Amino acid sequence: MVRRMRLIEATDLDITSVGSVGSLGTITNPVDVGGSALPSGAASEATLVSLLDSALNAILKNNEALAANGNSANQNILGAKHVDVLISVGTPTGSSPTIQFYLDVMEETSSAVIRTYNGTLLSAAGVDYITVDGLTLGQYVRVRWVLGGTTPSFPNCYVRLIAKR
């Protein structure tokens, strides 16, 4: 007798159903959000396994200007142990503009900050990368940014948060 189990994955990728797992752990009959069958074969199955490995893959800012301090909403990392924040900013305006990003690990019930991981202070167009491996505390994280200088504005900001189990 073969027992099958339905897998449900709810992430910011809007993946709600990825198919069934056979008795030996193979993904069979994968489907996308619309219920259509995905192409069969090793490539699509490998992609689904990779998606299941990701607890969260969210674009928090996409080509947006940042002109004030702020933070993202709390993001549920679903027990992930590895978190990456990918950051890109455009050429700033203002007098001596700076921006620094932080990854805050939040306490589940009070949303108090348990720990903060700093990014690099940026004063020109560029990229930054915050990575945490071996995360043991917190179910939620958020990305926070702090601007410095006089009337700073950083256009074309892109911030992506990836959490993996």
Q: How far is CA 81 from the centre of its chain?
A: 13
- Paired with 158 in beta bridges are 62, 88
Are 60 and 119 within one domain? yes
Are 91 and 134 within one domain? yes
Are 47 and 83 within one domain? no
Are 74 and 150 within one domain? yes
What residues make up the domain containing 13? 5-54
Say how many C-beta atoms besides its own lie within 10 A of residue 105's C-beta. 21
Are 27 and 67 within one domain? no
CA distance 97 to 128: 16
Burial of 155 (0-12, 13-18, 19+ CB in 10 A): middle
Are 10 and 91 within one domain? no
What's the rounded mean pLDDT across residues 118-141?
94
Are 12 and 38 within one domain? yes
Number of domains in the chain: 2
106-117 pLDDT, tens digit per residue, is 988 888 999 999
Are 138 and 94 within one domain? yes
Is it the case that residue 75 has pLDDT exceeding 90?
A: yes
Are 78 and 145 within one domain? yes
Are 48 and 61 within one domain? no
Query: Of 39, 54, 69, which closes a domain?
Result: 54
At 118, which CATH number?
2.60.120.760
Are 127 and 158 within one domain? yes
Are 81 and 19 within one domain? no
23-66 pLDDT, tens digit per residue, is 344 444 444 444 444 444 444 444 444 555 678 999 999 999 99
